[in-house]
């Protein structure tokens, strides 16, 4: 198929590379001209395992290219929208980018198509967004020709940073939302060969799926960390308690997100929890556990920062290993490690950071804005592997699994991503 993807962030760019590997012709659209030029010259705009090799192969085969705009969708089989839905001041999702891209797609449809263009949205939507925002935009542009011109689908993504390529080809589930809940032929063709349960449903059920999933992931992390703090204070092995807890696969379900360790962060969980809080407040649903998640998560950051500081002499030298939200990525948005680093600097400690995936000159968009808002001197803090291993350090703070690649000798290491 010929596929156009709007938005070349983590989700959009990963999807572009994976779909090209499947033999589809992919055109990526992004307003950032620098990002477009990087992709066309073979440089990935994100740090994510496997995407560099996929991009190189796709370019060699002529199956992928990036542009800042597209004026004609007549011969396109599928348009995928992956633009951002950042948090507004009140916690709700800002749908401005969605509205703008939808208008652009509608204006590009024109005439000459023999079949409706399938337009699928992968950005996180509040339930009702397709019917109340997306459909009205198409109808205002296309009028009576709307149904003949476009098939609207909501298709939430389930990609984890650090394993996004593997998740794309082996998703936990596939959820396809359509107006009447019936199957989409184009989406069936797109998902051929993927081994996962498929749910064909209405728009609203598909739209709320990510809120349910991400809030549950956030709840598991908060629960694990609260239990971890109790164990830590009482001198109990949280690691052993976790081992016992996750062995129960009948009632405790699974081991994911239940290991006591770092706070949650990144681009999805904080944003979607805040949006669900806003939604629940509006409709009078009293979600007290959900309301407590962000507060408990912030408390966990404070707890870990205090635990680190208690082990340091005044003005001590600290090496933080891992600043990004996840190892082998450069996503710094709402990373709990950024918050801890900021607190250490404010406390007068000499902080250095080892995270080979982070290069300030490569950061883009919200990722760039976030780190320079909260840690503007990040470039001065970063050190190379030789410097990290040379030390000396009063304390090494291991924020993620990057620590496994360092030889730190006898240095004291505090692992904040798991409790022993």
Q: Which tokens hold the place of 299? A: 């408390």
The H or E element that residue 294 is part of is helix 288-310
**Domain boundary residue, one of 142, 161, 196:** 196
Q: Which tokens hold the place of 301? A: 């950051």
Residue 203 falls within a domain, yes or no? no
Per-residue pLDDT tens over the stretch 389-413: 998 999 999 998 899 999 999 999 9
Give the whole-angstrom CA distance, residue 415 versus residue 397: 6
The H or E element that residue 292 is part of is helix 288-310
Peptide bond just before 392 cis, omega within 30 deg:
yes
**Domain boundary residue, one of 196, 229, 250:** 196
Q: Which tokens hold the place of 74? A: 């007549």
Q: Are residues 228 and 184 in the same domain?
A: no
- 417, exposed or middle or buried, with CB in 10 Å at 0-12, 13-18, 19+? buried
The answer, yes or no, to whether residue 230 has pLDDT greater than 90, is no
- Which single residue is written with the structure tokens 């590379």? 17
Nearest to 323 by CA among 307, 339, 310, 312: 339
What is the per-residue pLDDT for 305? 94
Nearest to 6 by CA among 64, 83, 66, 76: 83
Confidence of residue 229 (pLDDT cuts 50, 70, 90): confident
Give the whole-angstrom CA distance, residue 235 versus residue 223: 18
Q: Is 63 helix (H, G, I), strand (E, B) or coil?
A: coil
Q: Are residues 186 and 297 in the same domain?
A: no
The pLDDT of 145-170, averaged and rounded, is: 93
Average pLDDT over the chain, rounded to an integer: 91
Give the whole-angstrom CA distance, residue 393 versus residue 412: 8
The pLDDT of 226-247, averaged and rounded, is: 89
The answer, yes or no, to whether residue 110 has pLDDT greater than 90, is no
Q: Cα 249 vs. chain centroid, distance in angstroms?
A: 27
What is the per-residue pLDDT for 342? 94
Q: Are residues 267 and 187 in the same domain?
A: no
Number of domains making up the chain: 2
Q: Which tokens hold the place of 215? A: 């809030």
Structural domain boundaries enclosing 270:
213-415
The answer, yes or no, to whether residue 256 has pLDDT greater than 80, is no
The pLDDT of 19-27, averaged and rounded, is: 96
Q: Are residues 231 and 185 in the same domain?
A: no
Q: Which tokens hold the place of 280? A: 């629940």
Residue with more model confidence, 354 or 258? 354
Q: Which tokens hold the place of 325? A: 């939200």
CB of 158 closer than 8 Å to CB of 167 = yes
- 60, exposed or middle or buried, with CB in 10 Å at 0-12, 13-18, 19+? exposed
Q: Are residues 268 and 167 in the same domain?
A: no
What is the per-residue pLDDT for 53? 96
The pLDDT of 58-69, averaged and rounded, is: 96
Give the whole-angstrom CA distance, residue 88 versus residue 109: 31
Per-residue pLDDT tens over the stretch 328-365: 888 898 899 999 999 999 999 999 999 999 999 888 88
Residue 201 falls within a domain, yes or no? no
CB of 101 closer than 8 Å to CB of 67 = no
Residue 206 falls within a domain, yes or no? no
Q: Is 396 helix (H, G, I), strand (E, B) or coil?
A: strand
The answer, yes or no, to whether residue 17 has pLDDT greater than 90, is yes
The pLDDT of 219-247, averaged and rounded, is: 88
Confidence of residue 226 (pLDDT cuts 50, 70, 90): confident
The pTM score is 0.81
Nearest to 67 by CA among 99, 32, 101, 91: 32
**Domain boundary residue, one of 170, 196, 222:** 196
What is the per-residue pLDDT for 420? 67
Q: Are residues 123 and 222 in the same domain?
A: no
Nearest to 198 by CA among 177, 169, 214: 177
Mean pLDDT: which of 54-63, 65-74, 218-227, 371-380 is highest? Answer: 54-63
Percent of the chain past pLDDT 70, that is, above it, reads 99
- Which single residue is written with the structure tokens 């360092």? 406
The pLDDT of 73-85, averaged and rounded, is: 93
Q: How far is CA 326 from CA 117, 160, 166, 169, 278, in A?
A: 36, 10, 16, 20, 27
| CATH number for 186 | 3.40.50.720
The answer, yes or no, to whether residue 100 has pLDDT greater than 70, is yes
The DSSP letter of residue 278 is H
Please say whether the dihedral angle defined by the alpha carbons of residues 325, 329, 333 and 338, taken in this order, is positive or negative.
Answer: positive
Q: Are residues 181 and 221 in the same domain?
A: no
Give the whole-angstrom CA distance, residue 190 versus residue 313: 58
Q: Are residues 75 and 126 in the same domain?
A: yes
Catalytic residue status for 268: yes
What is the per-residue pLDDT for 393? 97
Residue 420 falls within a domain, yes or no? no
Q: What is the secondary structure of 341-390 as a DSSP string?
A: HHHHHHTT-EEEEE-TT--GGG--HHHHHHHHHH-TTHHHHB--HHHHHH
The pLDDT of 40-58, averaged and rounded, is: 94
Residue 207 falls within a domain, yes or no? no
The lowest-confidence range among 114-123, 265-274, 293-302 is 265-274
Catalytic residue among 17, 18, 82, 268: 268
Q: Are residues 141 and 247 in the same domain?
A: no
What's the angle, vertex CA 308, arms to CA 419 and CA 405, rounded to 5?
A: 65
Q: Are residues 143 and 222 in the same domain?
A: no
Q: Are residues 365 and 330 in the same domain?
A: yes
What is the per-residue pLDDT for 39? 96
The bridge status of strand 198-202 relative to strand 174-178 is parallel
Give the whole-angstrom CA distance, residue 98 versus residue 400: 34
Q: Are residues 262 and 368 in the same domain?
A: yes
Nearest to 322 by CA among 256, 388, 368: 388
Residue 89 falls within a domain, yes or no? yes
| Residue 27, φ and ψ in degrees, nearest 5 | -115, 120
What is the per-residue pLDDT for 280? 85
Residue 205 falls within a domain, yes or no? no
The pLDDT of 359-379, averaged and rounded, is: 89
Q: How far is CA 231 from CA 23, 224, 234, 399, in A?
A: 51, 10, 5, 20
Residue 161 falls within a domain, yes or no? yes
């Amino acid at each position: 198929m010929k596929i156009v993807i709007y938005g070349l962030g983590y989700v959009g760019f990963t999807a572009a590379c994976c779909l090209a590997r499947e033999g589809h012709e992919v055109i990526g659209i992004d307003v950032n001209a620098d990002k477009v030029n990087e992709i066309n010259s073979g440089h990935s705009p994100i740090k994510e395992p496997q995407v560099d090799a996929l991009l190189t192969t796709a370019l060699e085969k002529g199956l992928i290219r990036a542009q800042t705009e597209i004026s004609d969708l007549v011969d396109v089989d599928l348009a995928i929208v992956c633009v951002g839905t950042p948090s507004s001041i009140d916690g709700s999702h800002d749908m401005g980018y969605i509205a703008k891209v939808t208008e652009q797609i509608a204006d590009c449809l024109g005439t000459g198509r023999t079949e409706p263009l399938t337009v699928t949205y992968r950005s996180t939507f509040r339930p009702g967004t397709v019917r109340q925002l997306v459909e009205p935009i198409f109808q205002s542009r296309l009028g009576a020709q709307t149904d003949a011109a476009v098939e609207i689908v909501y298709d939430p993504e389930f990609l984890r940073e650090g394993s996004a390529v593997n998740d794309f080809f082996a998703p936990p589930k596939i959820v396809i939302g359509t107006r009447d809940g019936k199957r989409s032929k184009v989406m069936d063709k797109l998902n051929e060969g993927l081994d996962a349960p498929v749910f064909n449903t209405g728009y609203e059920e598909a739209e709320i799926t990510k809120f349910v999933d991400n809030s549950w992931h956030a709840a598991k992390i908060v629960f694990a960390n609260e239990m971890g703090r109790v164990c830590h204070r009482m001198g109990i092995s949280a690691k052993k308690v976790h081992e016992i807890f996750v062995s129960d696969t009948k009632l405790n379900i699974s081991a994911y997100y239940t290991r006591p360790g770092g706070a949650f962060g990144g681009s999805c969980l904080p944003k979607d929890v805040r949006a669900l809080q806003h939604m629940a407040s509006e409709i009078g649903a009293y979600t007290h556990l959900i309301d407590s998640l962000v507060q408990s998560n912030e408390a966990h950051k404070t707890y870990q920062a205090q635990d680190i500081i208690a082990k340091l002499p005044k003005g001590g030298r600290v090496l933080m290993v891992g600043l990004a939200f996840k190892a082998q990525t450069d996503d710094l948005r709402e990373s709990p490690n950024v918050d801890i680093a900021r607190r250490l600097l404010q406390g007068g400690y000499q902080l250095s950071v080892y995270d080979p995936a982070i290069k300030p000159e490569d950061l883009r968009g919200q990722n760039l804005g976030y780190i320079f808002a909260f840690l503007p001197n990040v470039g001065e803090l970063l050190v190379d592997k030789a410097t990290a291993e040379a030390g000396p350090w009063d304390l090494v703070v291991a924020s993620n699994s990057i620590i496994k690649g360092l030889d730190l000798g006898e240095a004291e290491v505090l692992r904040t991503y798991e409790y022993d």
